[in-house]
Amino acid sequence: MRSAGARRGLWDRIEDLRLPSGPGGLRRLRLWGLLGACVFTIVAVLAWFTPALSVRNVEIDGLASVPEQQVREQLEIPSVSMLRIDTDRMAQQVASIPKVRTARVQRVFPSTVRVTVVERTPVLYFESPLGAHLLDAEGMEFAIEAAPIGVPKLVTDHPGGADPATRAAVAVLMTLPPTLNIQVGEVVARSISDISLNLQDGRTVLWGGASDAERKAQVVLPLLTREGTVFDVSSPNLVTVK
């Protein structure tokens, strides 16, 4: 059993841990605070400049058609601490690759940079003397190369990402029911309000413009079950078959 003197000694030590009072106690508290701030600053400076935290590994996810080496070249990772690399700048550089839709760069301590890429997917293409120009769902022209199987061809007077008729054709294609979308072999855009779909089996759907897309999508599939070669849903409340 502890003596009264031992208990008082323990109580005195507990009292010492309490927040100090008086001018002397406040000075000690400020001193400890200053010391803690100095230690934190030293640690932060060491972490900022130490080569021990430099990038040693790069992980790249989401690549299909973009070469990994091209992404690594765009990153331009400096030989500095992980804390000093500019992930936003590196993400912007990767996103500048035409086939890249979005890019995200993250630090994974202690020494890894992780890059997540979302590539552009072709939904239409148009021909020129240079080859097939691929367009994504935003109407962005991002590559000149052979179009993947199943991607419809665009026919219009002035194809390109800045052309209103091209953008209208892309918008129409993206509103089609999936079961119809996979049947489209060619999209003909004479204007933003005169767009037709040439199906792979030889039938034609006169779609009109991008307006009333939901209503057109509802009526087009039942209409295609009828006999005929030309199916007009440009006015969805008055459809016709020829």
Per-position pLDDT tens, the chain of length 242: 455 554 555 545 545 545 455 555 566 566 556 555 544 444 444 444 455 568 889 999 999 999 999 999 999 888 778 888 999 999 999 999 999 999 999 999 888 999 999 999 999 999 999 999 999 999 999 999 999 999 999 999 999 999 999 999 999 999 999 999 999 999 999 999 999 999 999 999 999 999 999 999 999 999 999 999 999 999 999 999 99
Contact 124, 154 (CB under 8 A): yes
Rounded Cα gap, residues 132 and 123, in angstroms: 12
pLDDT tens for 192-236 read 999 999 999 999 999 999 999 999 999 999 999 999 999 999 999
The predicted structure's pLDDT at residue 42: 45
Rounded Cα gap, residues 60 and 10, in angstroms: 59
The predicted structure's pLDDT at residue 110: 86
The predicted structure's pLDDT at residue 52: 55
Contact 233, 176 (CB under 8 A): no
The predicted structure's pLDDT at residue 30: 62
Helices assigned H by DSSP within 66-120: 68-75, 87-95
Instruction: Read off the pTM.
Output: 0.77
Contact 116, 61 (CB under 8 A): yes
**Which domains does the chain possess?**
53-119 (3.10.20.310), 124-241 (3.40.50.11690)
- Tokens for 158? 């002035």
